[in-house]
Amino acid sequence: MTDPQYSSDELISQRVNHLLFINRLTRRRAAEELGISHSAFNTKINGGSSWKADEILELTDRFKVSFDYLFGRIPIEYARPAESDPEPEDSSSSDETE
């Protein structure tokens, strides 16, 4: 159940701040990845404007979290750093000897 002392926008912003921290991501970089301006992202994080549905969807995809997580229905401790796409293995750097 969501915490009644916070609005949904406040909860999302709190969770996004946590996700930025655990993913070692700046607000500027996150805004770029989400396709919104840095100033608009800061305004949303600071509670000056509401998160749009498409932005919430982008957040869930980017950080690999659920809507329930963003809206406070899952404890904040359950978030894990989102893994970036694995780099292709370079067969020339194999440690095996023949």
Hey, what domains does the chain have and what are their CATH numbers? 8-76 (1.10.260.40)
Note the pLDDT of residue 4: 61
Residues 25-54 pLDDT 10s: 999 999 999 999 999 999 999 999 999 999
- Asked whether 55 and 26 are in contact (CB, 8 A), the reply is no
pTM for the model stands at 0.76
How open is the CA angle 66-80-82, to the nearest 5 degrees? Answer: 80
At residue 16, does pLDDT exceed 90?
yes
Note the pLDDT of residue 83: 74
Q: What is the mean pLDDT of the chain?
A: 84
